[in-house]
């Protein structure tokens, strides 16, 4: 019995112990569960704190963005006008076409085949099919197909989408495109914009902040489908459109400058082109700024102006392509340095007169033997076959004598010269509001040796920009007052309907009125008796100075630079013209012979256009040898012949009908022009209006009689400006195609056999 009870007691003991173990396990489980719950809770608290305090603003903004719908309103880029309000650059409404790949669906929400979409888009926008297919099949959310799309193409796209049944996935968004109505007019001055309407060059770049404006936006609430919800708290941020700017450029004068510059570059075979600046010295207004070659502003990346075949262009390294285009776009009048040559003698003469170191007409003041010894060398005069001998300052300027100006430079001294160079802004960046400008490069003032003083006295081995030179000479012409060049005349805020005038800035009086008058009087002598005789303009007083700078031995491939600067009228000067031709390869490289006639051609049209009255009287062809061409349009052929032959003209017409009943429908030349006896008038009828063209021959260098015979042999007529000498310019240019009967205007001047 006792044993049995012990055994039972042991069993009970074991059972109680097991229960205790189970309780411990349960407690451990509860403990661990509590720990896990506590950790989870703490983690949740930390996460909520992170989201609330650290990421709160970000997620709040995200939630706001998901609930709100923003519509950006792009500003309209300002328009660029010339001084008369003619549009030079404006923004027109276009569209940008994009797609959502994989989501181009029809009205049944069924995806349209990628190949169909790619084929349609590539045909409409003249794109490569394979490239378009890659875009259509991409995994991107949105892909641009074409930018700056005109209305006609959008209409074609919408018609195709309707035919195919596309309702979603192709987006048409409003955009704007910069457009230049005159294509290449003032291209190097105006510049162009990127596809995002950001100015990249010229005025577009320099005045980009003024032209661009500030975007606006509309903020509204939206539902889960992205649709706008009517909301009284809709926010509207007004757009600020770009301001319009009015340039000082006159499109008519710009066209005249570009016409004669292109002709001069072509006729003189200028391998590096040329440029022309026309300026009003009284207020600093730049009336024209032309560079040739130019380019089409609506297609600035075209290589046509470069004259490089496409296959050669494609083979060029990217760096060379970029360099060629940048050189084409560059405004050389502001962004190129060159040696001014003898035109710079005007500055040296002005300093000498202002400092009372020299007078205009002191006999025997200078002496030229053909060269001048300076330092360790002899520096030659440009006149290779002789010397100028004894000269006054006036005669030295007329002859463009280098030794005379080296002697004058020695008398003045480099420190005095540098004082005036600074006053003429030759050490400053002139025209930085037009394009990237450079200051002149001169010798170190503290290290100048006699040779350097000598060469800079006649404008060589120093470099300045064309705008710096014309601004300095304009100061001389403007009674000695330097006026800052001005390119922008007015700024118009289209939102506020206000106009801000850009004021004329008179910088300083550089030389006295007396010195100014003396220099202008000597400049007139250069044109009447010196190397500038080809710059004479019938009826107007003109002053000028020629220039020819030769390249250094190290830069021989750059060639000569021929230039001419002219002022008119002499009293109350209103126009200054600078013509520069780079590396002329024609008959002459001298400025007086190549650039002088161009200045005259420009002035002969610009002065009358500006309403500047003639101040001299000169005759051209003998008036008794000229007759006014009568108007014979709408008269019978028989009557027209009788009228014209009675006036001393020949008549040319092809007619198959009755001369007594067939009427004249047109005539070349038109009525009203004065032509010499023997000129031929070409008549046309409604039955025979076919025109014949002929190539204009080169009559430059010929006498009037030879030029007349040559042109008439080519079935062309002639008008003559001048009384004696040889032909120095002609318009239209030679080797151009013109209709038979066209009048070629030639200018004759006393022959200038040599001259800088």
pLDDT digits (tens, 9 = 90+) for 360-377: 999 999 999 999 999 999
Do 20 and 130 belong to one domain?
Answer: no
> Distance of CA 130 to CAs 123, 124, 133, 169, 444, Å?
12, 14, 5, 19, 61
Average pLDDT on 75-92 reads 94
Q: What is the pLDDT of residues 474-493, one digit of tens each?
A: 999 999 999 999 999 999 99
Most confident of 383-392, 569-578, 686-695: 569-578
Distance in angstroms (rounded) separating the CA atoms of residues 605 and 256: 7
More confident residue, 197 or 211: 211
Is the pLDDT score of 52 beyond 80? no
More confident residue, 753 or 222: 753
**584 in any annotated domain:** yes
Q: pLDDT band for position 1 (50/70/90)?
A: very low
> Distance of CA 521 to CAs 9, 109, 511, 528, Å?
145, 85, 15, 11
* Cis-peptide, bond into residue 438, ω within 30° of zero: no
Position 23 scores a pLDDT of: 66
Helices (H) and strands (E) in the chain, counts: 23, 36
Do 243 and 182 belong to one domain?
Answer: yes
Do 639 and 583 belong to one domain?
Answer: no
Position 226 scores a pLDDT of: 46
Position 7 scores a pLDDT of: 52
CATH number at residue 397: 3.40.710.10
Do 649 and 716 belong to one domain?
Answer: yes
Q: pLDDT band for position 26 (50/70/90)?
A: low
Do 636 and 690 belong to one domain?
Answer: yes
From 247, 275, 307, give the residue that closes a domain: 247
Do 451 and 566 belong to one domain?
Answer: yes
- At 267 the three-state DSSP class reads helix
Do 40 and 166 belong to one domain?
Answer: no
DSSP state of 180: -
From 220, 247, 274, give the residue that closes a domain: 247
**405 in any annotated domain:** yes
> Distance of CA 709 to CAs 670, 697, 705, 712, Å?
21, 11, 6, 5
Q: How many domains does the chain have?
A: 4
Contact assessment for residue 664 and residue 637, using Cβ atoms and an 8 Å cutoff: yes
Torsion of CA 195, 200, 204, 207, to 10 degrees: 120
Is the pLDDT score of 509 beyond 50? yes
- At 548 the three-state DSSP class reads strand
Which residues contact residue 651 at a Cβ distance below 8 angstroms, ignoring those fewer than 6 apart? 640, 641, 644, 645, 680, 681, 683
Contact assessment for residue 250 and residue 109, using Cβ atoms and an 8 Å cutoff: no
**503 in any annotated domain:** yes
More confident residue, 55 or 662: 662
CATH number at residue 101: 3.90.1310.10
Do 599 and 628 belong to one domain?
Answer: no
Name which of 71-80, 305-314, 338-347, 558-567 the model is least confident about: 71-80
Distance in angstroms (rounded) separating the CA atoms of residues 605 and 554: 40
Contact assessment for residue 69 and residue 221, using Cβ atoms and an 8 Å cutoff: yes
Distance in angstroms (rounded) separating the CA atoms of residues 36 and 21: 22
Contact assessment for residue 323 and residue 317, using Cβ atoms and an 8 Å cutoff: no
**255 in any annotated domain:** no
Is the pLDDT score of 48 beyond 70? no
Average predicted confidence (pLDDT) for the chain:
88
Q: pLDDT band for position 616 (50/70/90)?
A: low
**512 in any annotated domain:** yes
> Distance of CA 502 to CAs 253, 285, 496, 727, Å?
21, 11, 17, 44
**295 in any annotated domain:** no
Which residues contact residue 269 at a Cβ distance below 8 angstroms, ignoring those fewer than 6 apart? 584, 585, 586
Angle (nearest 5°) at CA 261 between 305 and 350: 130
- Which two tokens mark 70? 């923003």
Distance in angstroms (rounded) separating the CA atoms of residues 382 and 399: 10
Average pLDDT on 185-198 reads 93
Contact assessment for residue 568 and residue 602, using Cβ atoms and an 8 Å cutoff: no
> Distance of CA 441 to CAs 267, 455, 469, Å?
31, 14, 13
- Closest to 511 (Cα-Cα) out of 406, 422, 423: 423
Position 718 scores a pLDDT of: 95
450-457 and 402-412 helices, crossing angle to 10°: 120
What percent of the chain has a predicted confidence (pLDDT) above 70?
87
Do 577 and 707 belong to one domain?
Answer: no
Do 470 and 534 belong to one domain?
Answer: yes
Position 614 scores a pLDDT of: 87
Q: pLDDT band for position 283 (50/70/90)?
A: very high
Q: pLDDT band for position 39 (50/70/90)?
A: confident
**265 in any annotated domain:** no
Position 164 scores a pLDDT of: 86
From 221, 247, 273, give the residue that closes a domain: 247
Distance in angstroms (rounded) separating the CA atoms of residues 186 and 218: 39
User: What are the strands, taking DSSP E only, across 100-142?
Assistant: 105-106
Position 595 scores a pLDDT of: 96
Average pLDDT on 641-662 reads 92
Do 455 and 595 belong to one domain?
Answer: yes
Position 382 scores a pLDDT of: 82
Do 239 and 362 belong to one domain?
Answer: no
More confident residue, 619 or 423: 423
Distance in angstroms (rounded) separating the CA atoms of residues 510 and 478: 10
DSSP letters, 502-534, are ----EEEE-S-HHHHHHHHHHHHHHHHHSTTGG
The backbone region for 520, taken as left when phi is positive above 0, alpha when psi lies in -120 to 50, beta otherwise, is alpha
User: What is the value of pTM for the model shown?
Assistant: 0.81
Distance in angstroms (rounded) separating the CA atoms of residues 588 and 605: 25
- At 328 the three-state DSSP class reads helix
Q: What share of the chain is helix, strand, coil (3-state, %, to 5)?
A: 40, 25, 35
- Which two tokens mark 610? 């500006």
> Distance of CA 473 to CAs 37, 55, 278, 301, Å?
91, 67, 12, 36
**278 in any annotated domain:** no
Torsion of CA 596, 602, 606, 612, to 10 degrees: 20
Position 57 scores a pLDDT of: 64
**Domain span at 126:** 70-247
Is the pLDDT score of 70 beyond 60? no
Average pLDDT on 543-572 reads 90
Position 615 scores a pLDDT of: 80
Distance in angstroms (rounded) separating the CA atoms of residues 557 and 550: 11
Position 633 scores a pLDDT of: 95
């Amino acid at each position: 019995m006792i044993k049995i009870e012990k055994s039972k007691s042991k069993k009970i003991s074991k059972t109680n112990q097991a229960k205790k173990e189970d309780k411990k396990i349960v407690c451990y489980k509860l403990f661990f569960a509590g720990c896990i719950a506590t950790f989870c809770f703490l983690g949740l608290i930390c996460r909520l704190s992170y989201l609330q305090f650290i990421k709160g603003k970000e997620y709040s903004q995200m939630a706001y963005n998901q609930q709100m719908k923003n519509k950006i309103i792009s500003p309209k880029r300002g328009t660029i006008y010339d001084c008369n309000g003619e549009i030079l650059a404006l923004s027109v409404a276009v569209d940008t076409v994009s797609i959502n790949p994989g989501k181009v669906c029809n009205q049944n929400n069924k995806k349209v085949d990628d190949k169909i979409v790619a084929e349609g888009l590539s045909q409409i926008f003249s794109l490569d099919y394979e490239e378009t297919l890659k875009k259509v099949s991409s995994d991107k959310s949105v892909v641009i197909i074409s930018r700056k799309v005109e209305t006609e193409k959008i209409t074609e796209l919408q018609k195709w989408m309707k035919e195919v049944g596309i309702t979603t996935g192709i987006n048409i968004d409003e955009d704007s495109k910069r457009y230049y109505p005159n294509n290449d007019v003032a291209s190097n001055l105006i510049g162009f914009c990127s596809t995002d309407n950001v100015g990249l060059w010229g005025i577009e770049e320099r005045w980009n902040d003024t032209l661009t404006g500030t975007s606006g936006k509309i903020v509204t609430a939206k539902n889960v489908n992205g649709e706008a919800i009517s909301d009284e708290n809709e926010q509207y941020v007004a757009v600020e459109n770009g301001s319009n700017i009015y340039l000082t450029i006159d499109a008519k004068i710009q066209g005249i400058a570009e016409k004669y510059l292109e002709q001069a570059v072509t006729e003189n075979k200028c391998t590096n082109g040329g440029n022309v600046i026309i300026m009003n010295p009284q207020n600093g207004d730049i009336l024209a700024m032309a560079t040739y070659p130019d380019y089409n502003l609506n297609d600035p990346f075209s290589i046509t102006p470069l004259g490089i075949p496409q296959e050669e262009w494609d083979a060029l390294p990217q760096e060379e392509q970029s360099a060629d285009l940048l050189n084409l776009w560059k405004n050389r009048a502001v962004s190129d340095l060159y040696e001014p040559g003898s035109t710079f003698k005007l500055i040296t003469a002005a300093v000498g007169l202002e400092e009372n170191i020299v007078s205009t007409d002191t006999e025997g003041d200078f002496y030229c033997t053909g060269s001048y010894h300076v330092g360790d060398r002899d520096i030659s005069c440009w006149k290779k076959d002789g010397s100028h001998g004894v000269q006054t300052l006036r005669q030295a300027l007329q002859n463009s004598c280098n030794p005379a100006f080296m002697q004058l430079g020695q008398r003045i001294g480099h420190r005095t010269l540098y004082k005036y160079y600074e006053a003429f802004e030759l050490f400053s960046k002139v025209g930085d509001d037009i394009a990237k400008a450079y200051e002149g490069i001169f010798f170190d003032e503290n290290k100048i040796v006699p040779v350097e003083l000598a060469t800079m006295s006649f404008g060589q081995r120093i470099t300045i920009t064309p705008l710096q030179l014309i601004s300095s000479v304009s100061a001389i012409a403007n009674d000695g007052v330097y006026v800052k060049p001005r390119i922008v005349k007015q700024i118009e805020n289209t939102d506020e309907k206000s106009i801000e005038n850009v004021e004329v800035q008179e910088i300083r009086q550089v030389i006295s009125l007396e010195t100014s008058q003396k220099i202008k009087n000597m400049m007139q002598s250069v044109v009447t008796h010196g190397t500038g005789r080809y710059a004479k303009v019938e009826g107007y007083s003109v002053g000028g100075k020629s220039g020819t700078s030769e390249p250094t031995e190290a830069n021989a491939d750059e060639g000569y630079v021929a230039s001419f600067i002219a002022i008119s009228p002499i009293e109350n000067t209103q126009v200054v013209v600078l013509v520069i031709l780079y590396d002329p390869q024609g008959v002459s490289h001298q400025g007086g012979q190549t650039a002088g006639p161009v200045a005259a051609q420009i002035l002969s049209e610009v002065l009358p256009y500006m309403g500047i009255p003639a101040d001299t009287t000169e005759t051209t062809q003998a008036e008794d040898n000229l007759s006014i061409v009568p108007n014979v349009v709408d008269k019978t052929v028989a009557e027209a012949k009788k009228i014209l032959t009675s006036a001393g003209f020949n008549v040319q017409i092809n007619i198959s009908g009755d001369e007594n009943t067939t009427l004249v429908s047109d005539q070349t030349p038109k009525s009203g022009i004065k032509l010499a006896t023997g000129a031929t008038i070409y008549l046309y009828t409604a039955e025979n209006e076919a025109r014949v063209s002929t190539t204009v021959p080169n009559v430059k260098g010929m006498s009037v009689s030879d030029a007349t015979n040559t042109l008439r042999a080519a079935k062309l007529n002639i008008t003559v400006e001048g009384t004696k000498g040889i032909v120095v310019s002609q318009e239209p240019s030679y080797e151009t195609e013109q209709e038979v009967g066209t009048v070629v205007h030639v200018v004759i001047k006393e022959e200038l056999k040599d001259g800088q």
